[in-house]
Amino acid sequence: MSTSRNATLEAWMAENGYSSNSLADAVNSAVGDLTGKVGGLDGSSVRDWKAGRVRWPKSATRVALEKVTGCSATDLGFLPRGRAPSPAAPAPPPEDPVERRRFLAAGTALAAATVTPSSGFSSRRIGTSDVDRLQARFTEIIASDHRHGGRLGIEQKSLALAGEALALQNSGSASQRVRAYVYACAAAFRSSAMWAAIDGRRFEEAMVHMREAQALAELSADPAIKFRIWSHAGTLYRHMGRPMEAMAANDVARSLSITRRDPLFASLGLARQAAIHGVAGNATAARRSFAQAQEAMDRADPRANRPVWMVSFYDQAELDSLALTGYLALGDYETAEAHAHRCLAALRPHMQRSRAIATTRLACAQLGQEDVGPAVATAMSVSRNAGAHHPRVARMLRSFHTRIRAMAPNSPTTRMWNQYAHATWKDSV
């Protein structure tokens, strides 16, 4: 039987920086999350997919692949059994960055207009069950972010779900309260697209998502989602090296009424403010804000009802992670290292992306103290998948690579690191 190559899958892998081996490893891990037993794929399995020799993976593998990529199996070029491929289907053209920007700039209205009837909505009464369904999908997005972070697939899926939420608004009648909830869901999805773009260092796209999310949040009148979006805006500007704008955006988040009602929101706002002070080089203000963030967290009621995005990530480990960020930026490497160890000891198991980032920052803090051996051991403990594919982790490790070669170019430890780095980054191309 003749086979045709799966050009769609090949294009997705090329765009997202996956080799056959690294995609197999990521899917195996996702199979383990789903079934409790790690999958048994290897590079040859993925090469069979690309060559068209396997046109429809087994069910558990297929679901795991969809979780890793954020795309459906059919969108990745696979064909359900019994369906014949088009006789002359051309390979999709490479994505034009200009067209992608136009698509993003078109905003959620375009996404809503293009939702197909398969979304399951029809003219009817919109109720809380619809909101519950959207919130369940939002929980899935949050879980994907904690596992992988920064993936283009997460950004695209969040954008599509924001469109579904807005399509729901136009599908029937609803109470004012339900409509506000649906707008809040749309804002939440768009803010997750924004966060994925920030984490993936796609700052231009993040700015577009930010503006759309802010408009949707105003329609929802939900102070929690407004806080999330403005707090993310502060983080976006911080990563862009614009601390004054970062501080202004974070101040908007901190001025919202929810920070006065719930000390945990106040704590997050203060901790992010402290990280911004670190980037700005203001050590006194950073230390003061971190102390205030800790005091607010200590006052917070752990039993309070909070949004899933807040409950799933902000705790003592995240506060220490932000302290690590701030003190590392200040060049206070000893204090940064102390917060790194506290963060890593307290991180919850599902925070895989956060663990990779904190471990990389710990290596940088150790190197800043000229502890070359421990620094290399720490850097080599970062998962190879994160080191090769997470933009923030990869960028920090490449900076680490440059610094250690300048600091100790001829040491056996540096040679060991060079071999490790070559193997890690070679696998990513």
* 8 A C-beta contact, residue 320 and residue 336: no
Q: Which residues pair with 172 in a beta bridge?
A: 124
pLDDT for the residue 37: 74
Rg over CA atoms, the chain:
23
State the Cα–Cα distance between residues 354 and 158, nearest whole angstrom: 20
State the Cα–Cα distance between residues 291 and 270, nearest whole angstrom: 9
DSSP state of 349: T
Sign, Cα dihedral of 92, 93, 95, 98: negative
DSSP state of 202: -
pLDDT for the residue 173: 83
Neighbours of 321 (CB within 10 A): 27
DSSP H helical ranges for 331-383: 333-346, 352-368, 372-380
State the Cα–Cα distance between residues 298 and 415, nearest whole angstrom: 45
* 8 A C-beta contact, residue 325 and residue 293: no
pLDDT for the residue 319: 97
pLDDT for the residue 297: 97
Under-50 pLDDT residues of the chain: 1, 84-122, 428-429
State the Cα–Cα distance between residues 6 and 416, nearest whole angstrom: 38
pTM for the structure as a whole: 0.69
DSSP state of 118: G
Which residue has tokens 């403005």?
230
State the Cα–Cα distance between residues 375 and 276, nearest whole angstrom: 25
State the Cα–Cα distance between residues 124 and 134, nearest whole angstrom: 17
Residues 6+ apart with CB under 8 A from 389: 16, 17, 18, 22, 428
pLDDT for the residue 2: 52
Q: Which of 146, 147, 135, 178 is nearest to 315 (CA)?
A: 146
Q: Which of 268, 306, 271 is nearest to 286 (CA)?
A: 271
In sequence order, what DSSP letters do the residues of 15-43 get, joined into one string? HHT--HHHHHHHHHHHHHHHHSS-----H
Token couple for 215? 């408009």
Which residue has tokens 């056996």?
412
Q: Which of 18, 42, 308 is nearest to 151 (CA)?
A: 18
Per-residue buried b or exposed e for 123-134, using 16+ beta carbons within 10 Å of the residue's own CB: eeebeeebbeeb
* 8 A C-beta contact, residue 52 and residue 4: yes
Show the CA angle centred on residue 251, arms to residues 247 and 254, nearest 5°. Answer: 135
Q: Which of 105, 91, 86 is nearest to 8 (CA)?
A: 91
